Amino acid sequence: MGQPIRIAIAGYGNLGRGVEAALAHNPDMQLVAVYTRRPPDQLETLRPGTPVHRMEDLAGHAERIDVLILCGGSKEDLPRQGPELAASFNTVDSFDTHARIPDYFAAVDAPARANRRTALISAGWDPGMFSIARVVGEALLPDGATYTFWGKGLSQGHSDAIRRVPGVAAGVQYTVPVPEAVARVRSGQRPTLSTRQRHTRECFVVLEPGADAEAVREAIVTMPHYFDEYDTTVNFVSAEELRRDHGAMPHGGFVIRSGNTSAGNTQLIEYGLQLGSNPEFTASVLVACARAVHRLHLAGEYGARTVFDVPPGLLSPRSAEELRAELL
Amino acid sequence: MGQPIRIAIAGYGNLGRGVEAALAHNPDMQLVAVYTRRPPDQLETLRPGTPVHRMEDLAGHAERIDVLILCGGSKEDLPRQGPELAASFNTVDSFDTHARIPDYFAAVDAPARANRRTALISAGWDPGMFSIARVVGEALLPDGATYTFWGKGLSQGHSDAIRRVPGVAAGVQYTVPVPEAVARVRSGQRPTLSTRQRHTRECFVVLEPGADAEAVREAIVTMPHYFDEYDTTVNFVSAEELRRDHGAMPHGGFVIRSGNTSAGNTQLIEYGLQLGSNPEFTASVLVACARAVHRLHLAGEYGARTVFDVPPGLLSPRSAEELRAELL
């Protein structure tokens, strides 16, 4: 093994912390520093020795960093940071606003290409590993249908939405696949399923003092886009119950490709994830992708890339010879 | 879409027939011809119009073929054909003798490289899709363990082995994962499992007239390498029952990576296949890989390759833009 790959983290929320944890399991990489918008001395990193700098210091540190992992959010941070930082760094991010991916790709591609940098966007598990399952499933079974089920898992966006409802002090939302729908898909039937038939939504809500429970329930289950197309259950719990029973961030789900290779022969491909911690798993994907980005950059592949462009072997610390001998 | 990719099939058993079936679902590819060692006029192809030639005619047809899919066996055919044909053609094969892959890779790599050809070896589902699951699982969860379970499915090698037992007129063997072992792995436990604890073997045997059933059973269950390390059940059936109930070639299984991203957080990745027809699915993988080989060759990537070297997007007929917009 040569010099370790020098990694830096931009943004230190749950995801950034997950990246720090993941790097501890990857001895071929080294965490150079964390960059944050908060005052650096107020940041408590997982490892006490991790250097912490201000985000503005990044510009002067390009020579120290092989790959910068962007751990900001897709709404506010990445649309600005992604294109800006791809001009000076090789980057990996988890931009996950599916509808805006083509625009984001173009915005990152131009500066990366102009400055001979490599930028892998939209890595994680969805987009990311699930996307790969969709592409490969479709390529292997062209006569077929693809189904993505999420959960059971805590949805950050939907949890935020219920917390904005007047009368709600706190709350979380779980997305749950409908077992009957899953069973039908696994049987090879290729059913047509409505939004309501695929998932249910389960909320655990702490009311503000004096709030009207029934009004809150009604406001949640009828909320456009977020809940109105689903069967939603609202459970009222105490602040203590919420903390005790709903503090983790599990998630997961599965992508199923169901198809036929001939009239009589049904084939089923299923890729599933059962995640104890959503941000830590996403972070682990980003870290493996950082290794691939470093190698793509060394090979002269400049510009924006996605997981569709990454040969699986580049994710592994092992050599191609070793992979062929031991894992093929 | 430009000119279709011109595909030829070398060897027309179950796998070659599966490739012909798969090509019908891939309009960006065109089946140019089937090459066989049998007399061409005795070959009945799936589509009556498919041209059939003698294997010896291949040498003169290099200009007509973009990718040649080798559908011979790993024992006798591929060790000879693979290196020989990779000197004149871009090839894809399903060489599946795991222990000999490094030697086979080297034997194919040299002539392919010398003649600027691209040769993808050991594609299929195992080696192939399962191998990718093993590499990616390990890369994403370095602190973890990988488990491969096969079945329930018909094993060709073990079926051949029981048919060689004196007194056996015909028979098939199914490999079956042990449900308790699977459940323990899925629970995130990372158990250590012996060969016997992972799979059982189930045989359906037709006896020759006058054969001693108990002697046949004993010869099967004690057969070294094939059965002695497993719990094996032998069922005696009539020739008619065997034909009626055991004529299909289902297979499948799953690769599970179980790991931790931090002390408290267990993560599980599972890639599973449920195959109505093993040869037809393997053939579908070969066909998607042929598309990738054609593109790698156009990009100037010469020499032997494996599925670890193939970016997932290259397997798909869709453009990179389309994949990003619709499947990421």
- Continuous H helices in chain A: 14-23, 78-85, 101-114, 129-140, 156-163, 179-186, 195-198, 213-221, 239-245, 278-298, 320-326
A277 contact B CB<8A: yes
| Model confidence band, residue A1 (pLDDT cutoffs 50, 70, 90) | low
* Distance, CA of A1 to CA of A21 (rounded, Å): 21
CA distance to partner chain A, nearest, from residue B92 (Å) = 15
- Residue B303 phi, psi (nearest 5): 110, -175
What does each C-alpha distance from A102 to A139, A306, B328 come to in angstroms? 21, 11, 10
Q: Dihedral sign, CA of A304, A308, A310, A316?
A: positive
Structure tokens, A217: 């329930």
Structure tokens, A253: 């789900």
Nearest CB neighbour to B310, from listed A273, A307, A311: A311
Percent share of chain A, pLDDT over 90: 97
CA distance to partner chain B, nearest, from residue A296 (Å) = 12
What does each C-alpha distance from B92 to B38, B67, B307 come to in angstroms? 21, 7, 10
Q: How many CB pairs under 8 A join A and B?
A: 214
Q: What is the pLDDT of residue B2?
A: 77
CB atoms within 10 A of CB B38: 12
pLDDT digits 0-9 by tens, A198-255 = 999 999 999 999 999 999 999 999 999 999 999 999 999 999 999 999 998 999 999 9
Coil, helix or strand at residue B259 = strand
* Distance, CA of A21 to CA of A72 (rounded, Å): 17
Coil, helix or strand at residue A11 = coil
Query: Residues B277-293: what's their mean pLDDT?
Result: 97
In the block, residue with structure tokens 């070793």: A322
Asked, as a colleague might, if the bond just before B75 is cis with ω within 30 of 0, I would say no
Coil, helix or strand at residue B83 = helix
| Model confidence band, residue A167 (pLDDT cutoffs 50, 70, 90) | very high
Percent share of chain B, pLDDT over 70: 100
* Distance, CA of A297 to CA of A282 (rounded, Å): 22
Q: To the nearest 10°, the Cα dihedral for B105, B109, B112, B118?
A: 60
pLDDT digits 0-9 by tens, B220-261 = 999 999 999 999 999 999 999 999 999 989 999 999 999 999
Q: What is the pLDDT of residue A2?
A: 77
- Continuous H helices in chain B: 14-23, 78-85, 101-114, 129-140, 156-163, 179-186, 195-198, 213-221, 239-245, 278-298, 320-326
The neighbouring-strand residues paired with B146 are B257
Residue of A nearest to B265 (CA): A276
Residue of A nearest to B268 (CA): A274
Residue of B nearest to A97 (CA): B328
Complex-level ipTM: 0.96
Identify whether the C-beta of residue A69 lies closer than 8 Å to the C-beta of residue A92. Answer: yes
Residue of B nearest to A284 (CA): B140
pLDDT digits 0-9 by tens, A249-294 = 999 999 999 999 999 999 999 999 999 999 999 999 999 999 999 9
Coil, helix or strand at residue B118 = strand
Identify whether the C-beta of residue A185 lies closer than 8 Å to the C-beta of residue A254. Answer: no
In the block, residue with structure tokens 């488990």: B147
Query: Residues B66-93: what's their mean pLDDT?
Result: 97
B102 contact A CB<8A: yes
Indicate yes or no: CB of A135 within 8 angstroms of CB of B288: no
Q: What is the pLDDT of residue B1?
A: 56
Q: What is the pLDDT of residue A136?
A: 98
- Going by the DSSP 8-state scheme, the letter that residue A37 receives in this structure is S
Coil, helix or strand at residue B164 = coil
Q: What is the pLDDT of residue A316?
A: 98
Q: Across chain A, what does the average pLDDT equal?
A: 96
> What is the distance, to the nearest Å, from the Cα of residue A296 to the centroid of all Cα atoms in its chain?
21
Nearest CB neighbour to A127, from listed B122, B140, B328: B328
Q: What is the pLDDT of residue A16?
A: 98
